[in-house]
Amino acid sequence: MAFTIPDKGEGLNDAQSVLFQEHIRTLVQGIEGYNGVISGLEVSWTSGLTVSWTAGVVRCAGIEYAVASGSVALTADASNPRFSHIQIPVGTAPVVNAFNDVASTPPKITTQTDSYITLAMVYVPTAATVLAAANVIDMRVFRESNGAKGAGRDNVFYENDQTVDNNYTITSGKNAMSAGPITISAGVTVTVPAGARWTVV
């Protein structure tokens, strides 16, 4: 499964069917390919208020990382329902965590200032002590790996675009390679930090 918003009446609460600003943000980041899920990291209810996720691979700030499986116990508010986001803050050595939105009726999504990859949104009812599978909504936006591709089990071909349409800075301490020819659009800048190299072959 992948990014899903249930129709009204399909979830445990109609608030799960609302398209929030943070959902749009998650989709845009994934579609742009800068932040997203390559494989795995499916979140599911385990028991009580605990949810778990499978191991997988993510692309954070354009770099792919392996992420270990794990679990986290969520907390319920005594007076109001809330959403909890199972997410990965964008940065080096990505780690899955749970972000609890402010409890309210109806529940709302808190706008976060930092970049993150959302794996799931979990509806936590008022004073809940146990959840169910339907509490968890899949929010993963999948992207293809930057690794080699091919037919069948072949992993031979690396494909890249031929035109740079957006400004890009190569990661400090890293080198980059592209198969040419490469055209850089007018007004677009590719920044190569000191000590880094960009090779077009």
Pair (75, 170) in one structural domain? no
For residue 156, is it within any domain?
A: no
What's the pLDDT score for residue 146?
63
Q: What CATH number should be reported for the domain holding residue 121? A: 2.60.40
Question: What backbone phi and psi angles, to 5 degrees, belong to 81?
Answer: -75, 165
For residue 184, is it within any domain?
A: yes
Tell which residue, 130, 126, 120, 142, has the closest CA to residue 6. 120
What's the pLDDT score for residue 143?
79
What's the pLDDT score for residue 152?
55
Tens digits of pLDDT across the chain (201 residues): 587 777 887 777 888 787 787 778 777 777 777 788 988 999 999 999 999 999 998 888 777 788 899 999 999 999 999 999 999 988 767 889 998 888 999 888 877 666 888 899 999 999 999 999 999 999 898 877 666 555 655 556 777 889 998 888 888 888 888 999 999 999 999 999 999 999 999
Residue 100 CB neighbours (<10 A): 16
Q: What is the dihedral of CA 97, 102, 104, 109, to 10 degrees?
A: -70
- Domain residues for the domain of 58 are 14-138
What's the pLDDT score for residue 92?
63
Pair (75, 133) in one structural domain? yes
Count CA within 13 A, CB hemisphere, residue 62.
7
Q: Into how many domains does the chain fold? A: 2
For residue 151, is it within any domain?
A: no
What's the pLDDT score for residue 59?
82
For residue 152, is it within any domain?
A: no
Pair (116, 186) in one structural domain? no
Pair (86, 33) in one structural domain? yes
For residue 19, is it within any domain?
A: yes
